[in-house]
Amino acid sequence: MAIRLLMLAATLVLLAGCESSQRWVYHQGMDFEKWRAGLEEHTVSTDDGLRWRVLQSSDADQAPAVLLIHGFGADSRNWVRFANELEGDYRFVIPDLPGHGNTEPRTTNMDYGISEQAERLFRLLDALQVERAHVAGNSMGGAIAIEMARGQPDRLRSLGLVDAAGITLQTPEFLNVLEQSDSNPLIPHSAEDFRTTLDWASERSVGIPDFAITLMGEEKAANADVAEKVWQDINLDPAMRLQGRGVLPEIKTSTLILWGREDALLGVDNVEVFQRELPNSRAVILEGVGHVPMAEAPEESAEAFRAFWQDIDG
């Protein structure tokens, strides 16, 4: 009934063709998706001056904690559909990383390197009184998750790498675009640019209505200067290029590698390298899925992690 009422309200408002009304529907729709996943939005301050925007499970305090880390240019919303599939079974902590979403301050004067972001996430977990957690990250978030496993392995129940950076073998197509173009397709400077970003990031639809893509694109474009700084910092970081350095074999944390076979950014060839270098890992490859499996295929992604986490938690 709630879904039908929301759809009716959205239809009536959209028929009016008013941008402010579309924006209202967009935010109401996002709030509904969070509610359906049992997530509440909180602002959490840490002693380094950050004011984090964090989605947290509303009624799972006694369940195992799970920290979910989004990728470059994204935010916590990328994980909402995934969390909905596992509602009540885990205590989710899903932040907007510094430089992204609604975590403040968003500034070009901050260091957004991988190790710096990992340390900030540990401070966030401290503020939330989370001693140990399953940690999973997508894309850049995967490289940050690896750094957390390197830095404080005793605080991780497990490690999840979802189309993760760290090895960072980019596809020839994406490398060619970066080399031949003055602009990065992952950093939209207009609402229309964001459609190109989505084309690169996903093979399947991620379920975003057309008018919402425009509004999200406007949000992303407004943060373009900060996104450029984040991109610069992570690409100067050796933590994005760990292959053959003897770093990954030292990680003993149980690891699930989840990948979309059609990933147009970080090719599926990354999986073989991760499996070879991580001694305690297993892999699941999803057919017909791109760079963001948790948003494109939330059911399949959640089932893979459910089985993995249940093995660990007993």
Count CA atoms within 13 Å of residue 22 on its CB side. 14
- Give the pLDDT confidence score for residue 28 in this predicted structure: 77
- Residue 2: is its pLDDT beyond 50? no
- Residue 310: is its pLDDT beyond 80? yes
- Residue 177: is its pLDDT beyond 50? yes
Which strand ranges, in their side-by-side order, compose the sheet holding 156-164?
39-45, 51-57, 91-95, 65-69, 133-139, 156-164, 255-260, 281-286
Question: What's the whole-number average pLDDT of the chain?
Answer: 93
Give the model's confidence band at 272: pLDDT under 50 very low, under 70 low, under 90 confident, else very high: very high
- Residue 16: is its pLDDT beyond 80? no
Instruction: Write out pLDDT tens, residues 35-44.
Output: 999 999 999 9
Q: What percent of the chain has pLDDT over 70?
A: 94
- Give the pLDDT confidence score for residue 32 in this predicted structure: 87
Give the model's confidence band at 191: pLDDT under 50 very low, under 70 low, under 90 confident, else very high: very high
Instruction: Write out pLDDT tens, residues 49-59.
Output: 999 999 999 98
- Give the pLDDT confidence score for residue 264 in this predicted structure: 98
Joined together, the tokens standing for residue 8 give 């009716």
> Sign of the C-alpha dihedral, residues 105, 110, 113, 119?
negative
Give the range among 32-41, 66-75, 151-160, 265-274 with minimum mean pLDDT: 32-41
Q: Within its chain, how far is the Cα of 143 from the centroid?
A: 11
- Give the pLDDT confidence score for residue 5 in this predicted structure: 45
- Give the pLDDT confidence score for residue 209 in this predicted structure: 82
Instruction: Write out pLDDT tens, residues 201-241.
Output: 999 988 788 888 999 999 999 999 999 999 999 999 999 99
Closest CA to 138 of 187, 206, 213, 73: 73
- Residue 124: is its pLDDT beyond 70? yes
- Mean pLDDT throughout 74-96? 97
More confident residue, 16 or 283: 283
Please report, as a single letter, which amino acid is at residue 288.
G
Q: For residues 99 and 228, what is the distance between their CA atoms, to the nearest angstrom?
A: 10
- Mean pLDDT throughout 112-117? 98
- Give the pLDDT confidence score for residue 17 in this predicted structure: 57
Instruction: Write out pLDDT tens, residues 135-153.
Output: 999 999 999 999 999 999 9
Burial of residue 244 (number of CB atoms within 10 Å: 0-12, 13-18, 19+): exposed
Strands 39-45 and 65-69: unpaired
Q: How many helices (H) and strands (E) does the chain have?
A: 12, 8
Instruction: Write out pLDDT tens, residues 84-93.
Output: 999 999 999 9
State the pTM of this model: 0.94
- Mean pLDDT throughout 122-132? 97
- Give the pLDDT confidence score for residue 4 in this predicted structure: 46
